[in-house]
Amino acid sequence: MHADLVLLASTRINAYAFYQGEQPTIGFTLGMLRLLAADQDAWAALLGHELAHIHLDHLEGMRDRRGRAEIASSLAGLVLSAIGLPLANVAADAATVLADRAYSRDDEREADRIGLGYMRKAGFAEKGAITLQQLLLSAGTPGSLPFLSTHPSGEERIAVLLELMGSAP
């Protein structure tokens, strides 16, 4: 599997997979570069996770879900408006966002699992996946509402990763 790497001139801590035309690409910010520094195992965890998103077609799935969700939201808004409910469009849009977030969290969990497998195969220390999550937690901003997040909590991810590591052959 091949993906281009792109360094993004932002101090925010972020990384994500996307397509530049047809070319799979992984972008990471200066903030992420500073956070992970020279920790090769944490980098392997990050890149394995993003490669898993590409390999599992999560990017295409996200596009499809968003398109279907927008249609469903529009139809729901029309129906709710027709029966006279105030703020019908807002309610329909909110329901769509919450449903999309749940799907996104499932994609993140799957990418964590597959990315851990990539790390194992490449010979990196699995502890890098835990280190990555701990670094992200320590750099995080408090106050995000869990049901609005596109990612599982760092604590949940660490617990699941530890469980997966215990099941390693």
Q: Residues 6-51: pLDDT tens digits? A: 898 888 888 888 888 888 888 889 999 999 999 999 999 999 999 9
| The residue count for the chain | 169
Where do runs of H (alpha helix) occur along 37-126? Answer: 40-55, 58-82, 88-122
Q: Residue 156 is encoded by which pair of tokens?
A: 């949940």
Q: Output the average pLDDT for the chain.
A: 74
Q: Where are the domains of the chain?
A: 38-166
* Contact criterion met (CB below 8 Å) for 27 and 16: yes
pTM, 2 dp: 0.66
Asked if the model's pLDDT at residue 136 lies above 50, the reply is yes
In whole angstroms, give the CA distance from residue 28 to residue 21.
18
Q: Which residues are CB-contacts of 109 (< 8 A; sequence separation ≥ 6)?
A: 152, 157, 160
Torsion angles phi and psi, residue 5, rounded to 5: -110, 135
